[in-house]
Chains A and B, each alone.
Chain A
Amino acid sequence: MQLPTGTHFDSYTADHAWWQTKFVWFRMLLLLFVLLWVIPTFVGDYWLSFLNMVGYTILAAAGVQLLIGYTGLITLGHAAPIGFGAFACALSMYLLDVPYLLAFVIGMVAAGLLSVLFGLPCARVKGFYLIMTTMAMQFITVDIILTQFLGPLAGKGRGGVLAIEPEMFNIGPWIIYSVKDAYIWMIILCVIVMVFMANLMRTRVGRAWMAIRDNDIAAEALGVNIFYFKLLAFFVAGALGGLAGCYWLTNLTIVSPEHFTFGWSLWLVGVILIGGVGSMYGHIYGALFLTGVLELVKFALIPLAGIFPEAMEKFLYIKDLVFGLAIILFLIFEPKGISYRWWQIKNYIHLWPFSY
């Protein structure tokens, strides 16, 4: 903990606060101002939709971060609650005419319950076997439930694709219609999710999760009901996944099981590996980095299209290649992720120029 000289606290609450100096408050408010006003005003639709993709990745990876980074339960099937939440939200709007906000909550709860259902084996199994369970969640949910049962419920379309009229996404009088609206909605959701998760991690529940991650036997001996807290982690992570799915719906206005492949699950794990496992900012850095690198690759390939037309045709493979390469390079050179490096840079600046 590093504070400017002369800063001291009179109460434990002040010592426990996130933003402990006026400067940090100013910085954070400035960031919020930039995110909510400067960017939507001056940035064009292309880059806004890019940021929407980043935001969706952040929201989706938040649950993965909670499970892998904070509770130590490795999940390779997080796309399942995301997809299930999106479908629950879409179907309740489509079939039951539920307003968007209520459908949003339904989607979150449904995704949370699905996640708990497949988390139940964690009472008995650990490690690899639990990973298998989460993979089972991925394949059972997306490839069977969504494709075969929930998708055709709408009675239209093909392969379980659901389209929803953009006008239906309204929060009170505000209709989430344009890219800019989706962007604003994304920022609001990201802030809420970040605040909620950061709060959880500094109170009793988050501590119990981290205790399970670090040393489950000691945690149990000290009175943590491990089974309950693991299921709670699955529920909250699933609900966060559902939230991401419900957001994705507003951004695209259609939803298909194809958006929630096993590859997307792995992608989310890659995001937190690169961003930093067990760090509150890890999934933000990771989402920015991975989505950004793909953008860069795209822009690098466009001028090459005339020379190597194959590069454009096979972009999908190149995308996977870049993802794999990024993970390998990070595991070799930066195993603790971007957030750790950023922390080191900050420490260096704090102590500069007398680092001893």
Chain B
Amino acid sequence: MALEWKREELRVEKEIGEPILVVEDVMKAFGGVQALNGVSFEVRKGEILSLIGPNGAGKSVVLNCINGLPGYRPDSGRIIFEGRDITKWPPHKRAQVGISRTFQKIELFGGMTVLDNAKLGRHIKMKTGWWDGGIYWLKASKEEAKHRKWIEEKVFETCEIEIYRHRTAGMLPYGVQKRIELARALAMGPTFLLLDEPMAGLNLEEVEDMTRFILDANEEKEWQCTILLVEHDMGVVMDISDRVVVFDWGEKIADGVPEEVQNNPRVIRAYLGEVEETYITRR
């Protein structure tokens, strides 16, 4: 078995609270394709919720709708975050209330150093304007040092990328870039983290590392992020999720704890076709 430990053994006491994010009946069509057909689910504070489903089921579309990327405004339905209707907010405003994300295809700032990537992630927590920034030695240098310290001690420590800090992000190996993306998302100190396939294309060891980082982000005191995870790696999903939501053809077909979903006949049929049930365990 790849992942020897089970979630229960490492389990930290954590409280699952009230719903932090509610997706209500969201519809989204691209041309003639109905990508989302009345999707509703909720994410509760403190949990790791996994979104799974076959390719083209609409998982990433939901994530982009929650994040509000250009072109992803829902046709109907609402998205409520911490009691506020954010359906029509621009993405940068959503970041300011604590929603952060990583991308399926790596979207790092390739020309900047790893440290600058992380600092950009902390953009909303910093205040320096163009005048202070240009003068630098009065205010900006103190702020830079303060946030640098925070990033080095919290973010880089968690994601274990200290040694790459002055390297150009675009020139690093893929596995490291994935970690940098997580670090950049964590740098803003988010309350809600959207992870779009963080394990895609990683080897076994890197998957284990990434899983550890995600659990840290969820459980450690300084992070305690609520996480919405889109992932195809069933082993990881079943091990670390508190709940799993299953999509198929733009509709939600199941919602529950991993064991429940694993044994749901509709999920097995829709998601795995006619393949035998054992296939749902990892590799």
Contacts and interface: CB of A to CB of B under 8 A. Distances in A.
B123 A196 contact: no
B226 to A, nearest CB: 17
Nearest to B136: A199
Contact of B111 (A1, A206, A214, A222): A214
Given A204-B133, A208-B120, A217-B69, A222 B112 contact: no
Given A199-B135, A223-B123, A210 B130 contact: no
Among A1, A207, A220, A278, which residue has the most Cβ atoms of chain B within 10 A?
A207
A22 interface: no
Tier of interface size on chain A: 20 to 34
A206 B152 contact: no
Interface string A190-218: 00000011011011111110110111011
A41 interface: no
The residue in B108, B128, B133, B143 that gathers the most chain A C-beta atoms within 10 A of its C-beta is: B133
A11 B148 CA distance: 10
Interface centre among B69, B110, B116, B120 (most CB of A within 10 A): B120
Contacts of B91: 220-221
B101 interface: yes
A193 B224 CA distance: 44
Contacts, number: 119
Nearest to A232: B130
**A interface: dominant SS:** helix
A299 interface: no
B116 A222 contact: no
Contacts of B126: 204
Given A203-B128, A223-B124, A217 B70 contact: yes
Nearest to B67: A221
A16 interface: yes
Residue from A12, A222, A278 whose CB has the most chain B CB atoms within 10 Å: A222
A96 to B, nearest CB: 26
A13 B140 CA distance: 11
Given A199-B140, A221-B69, A16 B130 contact: no
A208 B123 contact: yes
- State the majority secondary structure of interface residues on B: helix
A218 B107 contact: yes
A211 B136 contact: no
B103 A218 contact: yes
A13 B145 contact: yes
A254 interface: no
Nearest to A17: B141
B111 A278 contact: yes
Contacts of B130: 200, 205, 232, 236
B149 A200 contact: no
Interface in A177-200: 196-197, 199-200
A318 interface: no
B119 interface: yes
Contacts of B141: 13, 16
Interface in B110-168: 110-112, 116, 119-121, 123-124, 126-130, 132-136, 140-141, 143-145, 148-149, 152, 166
B96 interface: yes
A170 interface: no
Contact of B109 (A16, A210, A223, A225): A210
A12 B147 CA distance: 10
B49 interface: no
Contact of A210 (B116, B129, B132): B116
Nearest to A192: B134
Given A200-B133, A220-B91, A221-B95, A214 B112 contact: yes
Nearest to A12: B148
A314 to B, nearest CB: 42
B86 to A, nearest CB: 13
10 contacts: A12-B144, A13-B141, A16-B148, A199-B134, A200-B133, A204-B140, A210-B116, A211-B109, A220-B90, A221-B103
Interface of B: 67, 69-70, 90-92, 95-96, 100-101, 103, 107-112, 116, 119-121, 123-124, 126-130, 132-136, 140-141, 143-145, 148-149, 152, 166, 184-185, 188
The 10 closest A-B pairs by CB, nearest first: A223-B95, A203-B133, A199-B136, A223-B124, A214-B109, A218-B107, A196-B134, A12-B148, A204-B128, A220-B91
Given A206-B133, A211-B120, A223-B96, 12 more contacts: A11-B145, A196-B135, A200-B134, A207-B112, A214-B109, A214-B111, A218-B107, A222-B100, A222-B120, A223-B124, A225-B90, A236-B130
